[in-house]
Amino acid sequence: MTKILVTGSLGQIGSELVPALRARYGVEKVVATDIRPPEEVTIDGPYAVLNVTEANDWEEVLAKDQFDTIIHLAAILSARGEMKPLQTWDINMTGTMHALEAARAYGMKIFAPSSIAVFGMGTPKTMTPSYTVMRPQTMYGVTKVAMELLFDYYYHKFGVDTRSLRFPGIISYRTPPGGGTTDYAVEMIREAVKRGHYTSFVGPETQLDFMYMPDAISAMIALIEAESDRLKHRNAYNVTAMRFTPEMLGREIKRHLPDFTWDYAVDPLRQRIADSWPDAVDPADAVAEWGFKTSYDLSRMVEDMIRALKTSQEHAPAHM
Ligand code: SER
């Protein structure tokens, strides 16, 4: 690999993917971009401002370096997307089209995460296969289906090396997720460590797929590095590491923090979104075609999250 351009670098995934890529390929080989001005950003290594909806920003960034790979992360997630559906269409789709056009014009490989949000009405709820009914009920899901189809189109029509996988809820401690439905899981663990209590906005028996960030990072790198001719389901692969309900997560946290308590104040919007997604997707195609594997199940993930959050709390400056 010569050089990688990452959009949405300051988000939940980008803030951990960029350091991982820099450790693997070299600091100068990875240009991090996001919408925030450089003076507001603390990031080691090359950084540029890139509003993914602005053609001028793309031109400027692409003129400065020769890239061979784009990792396009910038997107509005499911719950926030329902507050501003038109803006979500604009950011997610205009951003994707600029990224695809850049990949086509400069002969770059392009990767972007899709999501379990592509699924909806008529999708099998359990062991959901990669290729199945996709009738999402959120604007976020609509934009991710459109992205997958465009990725296929650019591959077949223009020979662009497009790749994508469908993430479930991603759990991590470094940068909190924003505006998603699966965010409850991250919040529950954070609040358990911080305050010992959490009120969940999705109901007790709502089961969804999840993955811990280190597994999400390895999966992205494995798919990006995979031999192109092995990728039969290139847009997109289901991936998952665990599935649980808020009740199951609460009980697992309680094993480490016995005083932890939780209750529910269900938010109808986010509950409806969660109910429209599968209970358990099948990652078999990812396993078969590029060796997808995971290291963290529910119990290892919760243990590691609590340890990391406690450590960062101990090192946080004391309140006056
Ligand atoms: N974590 C995402 C969301 O909730 C799913 O891709 O919206």
Find the mean pLDDT for residues 232-238: 95
pLDDT value of residue 320: 43
CB 252 within 8 A of CB 258: no
Higher pLDDT, 43 or 188: 188
Largest Cα–Cα separation, the chain: 61
Average pLDDT over residues 114-131: 96
Residues 218-237 have a mean pLDDT of: 96
What confidence score (pLDDT) does residue 319 get? 52
Mean pLDDT over residues 173-184, rounded? 90
**Annotated catalytic, 140?**
yes
The model's confidence at residue 315, banded by pLDDT at 50, 70 and 90, is confident
Whose Cα sits closest to atom 3 in ligand 1?
Answer: 180
Report the distance separating Cα 210 and Cα 249, nearest Å: 11
**pLDDT for 2:** 80
Smallest CA separation from ligand 1 atom 7, residue? 180
Q: Residue length, the chain?
A: 320
Give pLDDT, residue 38. Answer: 87
The number of the ligand 1 atom at minimal distance from the alpha carbon of 144 is 6
What percent of the chain has a predicted confidence (pLDDT) above 90?
Answer: 92
Q: Which of 12, 13, 76, 78 to mutate to test the pocket of ligand 1 (most atoms within 8 A of CB)?
A: 78
Q: Whose CA is nearest to atom 6 of ligand 1?
A: 115
Ligand 1 pocket residue status of 167, Cβ below 6 Å? yes
Confidence of residue 195 (pLDDT cuts 50, 70, 90): very high
Does residue 181 have its Cβ closer than 6 Å to ligand 1?
yes
Please pick, among 25, 47, 131, 140, the residue that the annotation labels catalytic.
140
pLDDT of residue 194 exceeding 70, the answer is yes
* pLDDT band of 314, cuts 50, 70, 90: confident
At residue 18 the predicted structure's pLDDT band, cuts being 50, 70 and 90, is: very high
**Does the beta carbon of 169 sit less than 6 angstroms from any atom of ligand 1?**
yes
- Mutating to test ligand 1, I would choose from 82, 92, 182, 208 the residue with most ligand atoms within 8 A of its C-beta, which is 182
- Identify whether the C-beta of residue 33 lies closer than 8 Å to the C-beta of residue 61: yes
Give the pLDDT confidence of 264-310 residue by residue, as tens digits. Answer: 999 999 999 999 999 999 999 999 999 999 999 999 999 999 999 99
Quote the ligand 1 centre to 243 CA distance (angstroms). 14
User: With a 6 A CB cut-off, is 292 part of the ligand 1 pocket?
Assistant: no
Peptide bond before residue 236 is cis, with ω within 30 degrees of 0:
yes
Ligand 1 pocket test: which of 145, 170, 181 has the largest number of ligand atoms within 8 Å of its C-beta? 181
Task: Please give the domain boundaries of the chain with CATH numbers for all domains.
Answer: 4-169+211-238 (3.40.50.720), 170-210+242-279+295-315 (3.90.25)
Give the H/E segment covering residue 221.
helix 213-225
Q: How confident is the model at residue 48 (pLDDT cuts 50, 70, 90)?
A: very high
Q: What is the mean pLDDT of the chain?
A: 95
